[in-house]
Amino acid sequence: MDIETLRWFQHVADGTTVTEVADIFGVSQPAVSRALSRLDRDLGTPLLEKTGRILRLTHAGSTLKRYVDAALHDLDDGFAAIDQLLDPATGSVTLAFQLSLGTWLIPELVREFQITHPRVGFRFRHSDDGRSSLLQAGSRVDIEFTSRRPTQPEIRWRPILTEDLMLAVSPDHRLARELSVSLAEVSDESFIALGPSWELRKRSERLFAAAGLEPHISFEGEDLPMVLGFVAAGLGVGIVPRMGANPDHRRGNEARLLRITDPGTTREIGISWSASRRLLPSAKLFRRFVLDWSTRGTANQTGGPVPHPGETTLR
């Protein structure tokens, strides 16, 4: 049993065809098939079974897959650690973040970081605040940017910025020329909202409750671009994060963003990392850069520095 065979098994188990695996690793398709058959014989049970044209995991294969993922993950970390020990300014950082942060915050941070660390590469994964953290055991994510404080004790979280929540209206909405608005002024309108599991949805509901209002939700979706698209089409209004936009700059057929005058219309964005997994040097460099960046004032979209209560020992 060799590492390459385990990698081939991992790819096939994740849905890659044997032909695609052969292309990825530059070997023949029969070589991959023979290696997987040898793995079955070595373990004394089939790990994959053919259903039509698709290979699916058997119960034994599903059991082994968890251990293969963890072992190869640790092994890859070991290889990367050796490389980075020679030069801490190289390597790569894997970031997870909400789609809304990928339109402004993440590009800004990476651009500024690479001015002084141009040889550090990045891998990106999308997450949302309606699902569990991507920093679970076995994950390849180093740092996650999220508006939700994690509940798992092994995950550390630090705030880096406070972002305004805005009311999005269509370009021809009766309030489109206004700069600010109260929720009471749109209480009788249809709302476009994210699903109930999203933290932004829960925060929006708390804002309405504090104002003694109950929104009429006409459409629910699972991403902010959908909310903004439906709003721009005049199908309702919605509460969205500012996302780095200048609300005073009105563009074409895009949804207009108005400041909400009700209290508490902000959300806190932070970074998370796992305390049970030691970050490699390049990821540590980036984490330190982000935390330093957050104290310079430019991190806030509401003005003022970001406090760091409950200082946590970094690992």
Q: Express each pLDDT in 2-27 by its tens digit.
A: 899 999 999 898 888 898 888 888 89
Q: Which residues pair with 157 in a beta bridge?
A: 272
- Structure confidence at residue 234 (pLDDT): 95
Q: In this predicted structure, what is the pLDDT of residue 307?
A: 42
The ranges of the chain with pLDDT < 50 are 302-313
CATH number of this structure's domain 162-266: 3.40.190.290
Q: Tell me if 92-160+270-294 shares its fold with 162-266.
A: yes
Q: pLDDT for 33-50, tens place per residue?
A: 999 999 999 999 999 998
pLDDT at position 308 is 42
Domain 92-160+270-294, architecture per CATH: 3-Layer(aba) Sandwich (3.40)
What ranges do the domains of the chain cover? 3-85, 92-160+270-294, 162-266
**Is domain 3-85 classified as CATH 1.10.10.10?**
yes
Predicted structure pTM score: 0.66
